[in-house]
Amino acid sequence: MIEVKNVTKKYGNFIAVDNVSFTVNDGEVVGFLGPNGAGKSTTMNMITGFIEPTEGTIEVNGYDILKQPLKAKKKIGYMPEGVPLYNELTVKEFVTFMAELKRVPRKERKEKVAKVLYEVGIEDVANKLIRNLSRGYKQRVSMAGALIGDPEVIILDEPTVGLDPKQITEIRQLIKKLGKKHTVILSSHILSEISQICEKVIIINKGKIIAVDTPANLEKKTESKNVILLTVEDNKNNMEKLNKDIPEILENKFIKNNDDGTKQYMISSNIEFDLRKKLFEILPKKDITIFELKNAEKSLEDAFITLIDTNTREREKEKEEENKKTKETGKEDKNKTEKTIKNEEKKKDKQKKKETTDKEKVGKKIKEETKKQEGGKK
C-alpha cells in the first residue's frame, strides 16, 4: 500500500505539488494522469524517495520514505521516464548490476536475473550491448531493472513513450501481467492505454488532485449529454427538419455522406432524455430509413479533457476573484492611508494655528505687562 498524505513540493515560490493526498491499495493498477507540468513526475519522484517533499508524508507498505528510506525503497521498483541505462553494458550485466544495488543475495542473483529477463521477454538479447538495442527493447531492459529484487510496488513513468504501435501493445501486455503480482502506478499520455490497463485513475492538474475514480465512473460522471450516432437513408432531406418533430434534440449535426448513399448524423439531447424511442417512432413516418443507431461512447480522453478544462476555468476564476479582492483591499488601504494623511495634516494645521494663537496671546500679555511697568515708573 502507498499512502500519500498532504504532500507539497515547492521550488522557491513555485508550488509544483500542492497538498496532495491519495492511497494506492495492494494489488491495484493505478493510472496517474495530468497535462504536462501538472506534477506527475514530481509526485512519482517523491514516492520513490528520489526527491524530498517540502511538507507531508509518504508511506510505502508502512515505511516512511524519509524516516525509513532503505526499507521503503526496497519495496519499490522504479522505471523513470527517458530510459536511463548504461549503454556500454550488456543487458545481462545491467540487470545483474541492478540486482547488486538492490542487495539481492549472491546465491540467488543468477536465478533472479534469468527469471526477470524471461518475464520481460529479453532473454534472447541478454548478451547484446544496450546501445545496439531498439527503443522497445531498451524500455524492456529498464523495466527489468525495476523488477529485479521482487519489489511489491512498481512505478512506471511514461513506459510507452516513443514506441511504435507493436511495441506499445507488447509493453501494455507486460504491464497487465505485472498487475497480477504487483501494485502498479502507471503514468502515461496515452489515455486509451490507461483505460485498458488500470482499475483506478488519479488525475492531477496544476499540482492538485482533481479526481480519483475508476475510468468507467469518470466517463459517466463527466457526461453532460446523450449523444447518438445515426446512419440513415434520407432521399428527401427530412433529417434537417427533425428538430421540429423532436424538440428535445439539442443538436442535429450532419457528419458525412457514406459510399453506399447513406448519411451519418450526430444527435444529442440532455442526459436525462433518451432519444432512441422517439427516433424509431418518428423517422419511418418521415420516409427516413435507419441503417444504424448507437450511443456515442464517451472515452477516458473525453472525461480527462472535461475535468482538466473545468478545473482550469474554476481556478482561473478563483484567481481573478482573488486579484479583484486584492485590488479592492489595496484601494481601500490607499483611501484609508490618504484619509489618515489628510487627518494628520488637519491636526498639524490645527496645532500650528493653536501654537500661533498661543504665541500671539503670550506676546500680547508681555506687551501689556511692559506697558504697566513703564506706566508705574512714570
Q: Per residue in 118-169, pLDDT tens?
A: 988 899 999 999 999 988 889 889 999 999 999 999 999 888 877 778 878 8
Query: What gap in Å lies between CA 304 and CA 219, rounded to an integer?
Result: 8
45 and 172, same domain (yes or no): yes
93 and 199, same domain (yes or no): yes
- Of 237, 270, 297, the domain-final residue: 297
Domain residue limits at 259: 224-297
161 and 247, same domain (yes or no): no
90 and 193, same domain (yes or no): yes
- How much is the pLDDT for 51? 93
248 and 201, same domain (yes or no): no
- How much is the pLDDT for 218? 84
Mean pLDDT of the chain, nearest integer: 86
Q: Each residue of 261-276: pLDDT tens digit? A: 999 998 888 877 888 8
DSSP-derived letter for residue 253 is: E
Looking at residue 183, which CATH number applies to its domain?
A: 3.40.50.300
Q: Each residue of 293-319: pLDDT tens digit? A: 988 777 777 777 788 888 888 888 888
For 340, other C-beta atoms within 10 Å of its C-beta total 10
257 and 291, same domain (yes or no): yes
Separation in Å, CA 290 to CA 88, 235, 257, 282: 63, 12, 14, 11
Three cell numbers written together for 272? 436525462
Q: Is residue 202 part of a domain?
A: yes
246 and 198, same domain (yes or no): no
- Of 274, 297, 320, the domain-final residue: 297
151 and 185, same domain (yes or no): yes
Query: What gap in Å lies between CA 374 and CA 371, rounded to an integer?
Result: 5
Query: What gap in Å lies between CA 87 and CA 97, rounded to an integer?
Result: 13
Query: What gap in Å lies between CA 174 and CA 119, rounded to an integer?
Result: 8
Three cell numbers written together for 280? 424509431
89 and 228, same domain (yes or no): no
Percentage of the chain modeled with pLDDT above 70 = 90
277 and 179, same domain (yes or no): no
- How much is the pLDDT for 8? 96
197 and 60, same domain (yes or no): yes
- Of 276, 297, 318, the domain-final residue: 297
Query: What gap in Å lies between CA 20 and CA 207, rounded to an integer?
Result: 8
pTM of the model: 0.70
161 and 279, same domain (yes or no): no
Q: Is residue 114 part of a domain?
A: yes
- How much is the pLDDT for 69? 92
For 303, other C-beta atoms within 10 Å of its C-beta total 26
